[in-house]
Structure 1
Amino acid sequence: MTTRASFRLPRPRPLDVVWAALLGLLVLAAPGSLVDQPSPALGNVLMVVWGLMYVLPLVWRRADADLATLALVPAHLVQLAFTNLPNAGNLTVPLMMFTVAAYGRLKYRLWWLAFGGLTALAASVDWTFGSSFEHSQAESFATLVATALVGFIGLGSVVAASWAVGAFVRARNEARLASRDAVTAQALQHQQAVELAATQERQRLAREMHDVVAHSLAVIVVQADGGAYAASMDGDPNLRLATAEKALATIRSTASDALTETRRLVGVLRSDQGTELAPAAGLGDIFGLVQGLSDAGRDVRMQVTGDASLRRNLSPGLELAVFRIVQEALTNAVKHAGDEASVLVHLHHAPHELVVEVRDTGVGAGPTDGLGHGLVGMRERVSAFGGSLAAHDHPDGGFVVTARFPTPQGAPR
């Protein structure tokens, strides 16, 4: 079975159809039009057909600039063959020079410019010698040559200027498209980077939840074993009952805390098939972070204010979040604040909240310092516990990160 290749004209643009109709009226009816310049060799009907040969290709001027320009060539050849005067149809030459430069195929643009130059030369010679040579004296030939040369320069300038304007429009359109594509690509890249950072942070939170939940389950198992042992041992029944009740109370409290933390984190977590991890870090491990940086030669200090006994009300998950936020803030300070900057880690235990502040005396945040990715994880950690995070340049210099965690009230753990 064979298939036949079919050719279809591209769909014209409505605005080009309107302009073609207006130019058609100009070519066929305006003063100086073809109707005003009848040719004995061409009847009136053929004159109208000739005029349509100028107009119809303009309908596809931008749909296919090269094809439309090529379709105009026969109309101009008819003019060279049967008349020696300009007409309104010649306005299509600069129009199409603009069109092929702005919308035509790149590989044909210079060829069309050269063709436009030849058209200008042919028109200047035809209009000068065709109308004057038979009635001129021999000594006026030089004058005719000069006239044709001047005409060629004028027509050629119009052709070149039209082509140059079209090339400028093409360059401007391409620059706009390139700029738009660059902005779109940059926005997409930024979105992907943010999503990747959020995904990585969620995976880290998932591993940390593994620590908290595993620790809680271990406590439950130990307390359950202890309660079972107390129930089976010999001795005072009241003592055995009290021991079992204490074990059950611990199991209930631990399970309740684990369930609460799981509900808080489930919206931002993803499952992770990682290996066994170390126990979760807490507030006590922050001193190790500070000491490690101090041993490395950095000026890092830690300050704890308020009622430190309130720490007993903090869950392991909250302590872990505080530790990670301080860790991320110290990492950013080391990377961006400068070697000479000092860093202060301040923990304040208030009756209803824990305030964590990490401030450095460096140069502050730059427009492209990359802090945004770290802040994504910080905000997710704080929001998981109903808190708030602020990160900004300090009025006295440097950068400050402040996290506020609401703390639970009730019996100490």
Structure 2
Amino acid sequence: MMPVQQPTPSASWSRPAERIMAAINRDPLTAPHAVRNDALLAVLTAGLSVALGLFVDDGRRPDALGWALLLVSHVPLVWRRRSPVLVLLAVVACVVPYHFLEYTHTAATQAAYVALYTVAVTGRPLRTVLVGIGVITLSVSVMLTISAHEALGLLKASGWVVAVLFLGVDVRFYRQYVASIVERAERAERTREEEARRRVAEERLRIARDLHDLLAHSITLIGVQTSVAAHVLSADPERLDRETVAKALDDIAETCRGARGELRTTLEVLREHDSPDARGPLPGLDGLPDLAEAARLAGARVEQTVRIRQAPPAVGAAAYRIVQEALTNAVRHAGPEPAVRVDLVEREGALHLSVSDDGTGPAPGGTPGFGLVGMRERARTVGGTLDAGPRADGGFEVTAVLPLTKTGTGTTGTGTTGTGTTGTGTVGEGTG
């Protein structure tokens, strides 16, 4: 049988302290069991007043009328939270004749103090000040009808009235302060939840864009390379160029391996439960030569020029994806053996990107895809702009301006020119 753990002394002391602090912090107008608690308070206060009436000698001992006035003055305290001012007036209505008949004065102060505290803790400071002035004035006026000496003594004792009122005002301000802290904490929690939802939505959009760019690029290249192999097999079966077929199949296998690697990197983000901000390695400007080489293998003649220092990771990733999408659409839509030019230049604190081709233009009535939308979203994510459309001398051009944060220096490089065999479509105009 397991021994029962006894509560430690500190824990047993902390529980009543927590209850007391909870009662102090709680709004008296919304506290549960208000009438029951106030009825209990009225009984306890009445018991204290009776004890003072019996054992304190600062007036004559109450008779039947005095006890009636003393006990009745505590009855309104049961409803002190609902109507604090009316309760105070009812208490005063019983206490004034009690003092006028010179019964034990100390015994009648308990109910008045509770009523004054309630008025101060539930109302505005201005009302508290006016009520305090009124109570002191009325009390002194009543005592003046008895004797000037008693009135002077009451005026000296009015500091207790002021102290009770200040206590009520102080507790009221403290409760307002605690309520404001709780409200700020709840608002901060709501803000964190909204921020978490926004981050999830942005991450989903980022993954969708990455998957779109990756699959569109890879599937397009695989389709073109497969067409090359099929063309070689069917063009002249008697003089089969096995070397060309083998090269086309190797290119397909290499494209599949690269796509599989990128797809694995992207999907790893979805499996990260412990690190919601994990985004995996971002592609950058150093991957542009691979994009150009893949487009050449698919039949495009690509000329690439890169004159830019090191770019921030987010800008480099956006530029990489924009170039990838533009090259994919050039291979797909720009016609046979399209000539594509890729330029990336740093100018006036921004990366100026341009991808143009000499293709035949988009097919009339074609259904637009998500290519241009995705590229514009990528440019906006880094504070840039993107334009795309037909060129005046034929073909299609995508231009983007991406702001740069100057962090370090890099190298300047120039790409090479390559040629291929086949391709179709216009850059940026719809991808599958």
Q: Gaps spanning 5+ residues in structure 1: where?
A: 1-8, 130-143, 269-279, 299-322, 335-341, 347-413
Instruction: Give percent identity, aligned residues only.
Output: 21
Instruction: Tell me, in whole angstroms, the C-alpha distance in 2 between the residues paired with 1:62 and 1:33.
Output: 30
Change (3 A) 1:293 1:119: farther
Check 1:282–1:332 CA distance in 2 against 1; reply closer, same or farther (3 A cut). closer
Change in CA separation of 1:247 and 1:229 when aligned onto 2, cut-off 3 Å: farther
Deviation at 1:92, TM superposition (A): 2.2
Which consecutive unaligned segments of at least 5 residues does structure 2 have? 1-30, 273-282, 289-305, 312-343, 351-377, 384-401, 412-432
Partner residue, 2:61: 37
**Aligned twin of 1:196:** 198
Equivalent residue runs for 1:14-25 within 5 Å: 16-25=38-47
SS in 2 for 1:343: coil
Q: Distance in 1 between matches of 2:245 and 2:287?
A: 35
Deviations, residues 341-388 of structure 1 (Å, cap 9, x unaligned): x73679xxxxxxxxxxxxxxxxxxxxxxxxxxxxxxxxxxxxxxxxxx
Q: Which moved more, 1:180-189 or 1:289-298?
A: 289-298
* Aligned with residue 260 of structure 2, among 256, 261, 271: 256
Paired with 1:243 and 1:84, the residues of 2 have a C-alpha distance of 117
Aligned equivalents of 2:32 and 2:245: distance in 1?
A: 91
Q: How many residues align?
A: 271
Q: Give 1:222 deviation, angstroms.
A: 1.0
Structure 1 residue 50 and structure 2 residue 69: aligned? yes
User: C-alpha distance in 2, partners of 1:11/1:122?
Assistant: 38
Question: CA separation of 1:85/1:262 partners in 2, compared to 1, >3 Å: closer, same or farther?
Answer: closer
Taking the TM superposition and a 5 Å limit, the aligned residue runs for 1:132-281 are: 144-145=147-148, 147-189=149-191, 192-193=194-195, 195-197=197-199, 199-200=201-202, 202-234=204-236, 235-236=238-239, 239=242, 242=246, 245-246=249-250, 249-250=253-254, 252-253=256-257, 256-257=260-261, 259-266=263-270
CA contact (8 A) 1:333 1:343 kept: no
Deviation by residue 1:181-221 (Cα, 9 ceiling, x = unmatched): 33443454455446535543543443233222211121121
CA-CA distance at 1:88 after TM superposition: 0.8
* Separation (CA, whole Å) in 1 of partners of 2:241 and 2:345: 53
| RMSD over aligned Cα atoms | 4.5
Output one character per residue of 1:49-83: Cα deviation in whole Å (capped at 9) or x when no partner: 43332223334445653343244233224425655
Contact 1:13 1:60 in 2 (8 A): yes
Is 1:90 the counterpart of 2:114 in the alignment? no
Does residue 343 in structure 1 map to residue 363 in structure 2?
no
CA, structure 1 residues 246+290, in 2 after alignment: closer, same or farther (shift >3 Å)?
closer
Q: Which has the higher contact order (CA 8 A, sep 6+)?
A: 2
- Cα deviation, 1:223-280, whole Å, max 9, x if unaligned, reads 2222322332323457176367436534643553464345335569xxxxxxxxxxx8
Deviation readout 1:273-326 (Å, 9 max, x if unpaired): xxxxxxx8542569735389986589xxxxxxxxxxxxxxxxxxxxxxxx99xx
Aligned to 2:34, the other structure's residue is in SS state coil
Give the alignment partner of residue 119 of structure 2, picking from 87, 97, 100: 100
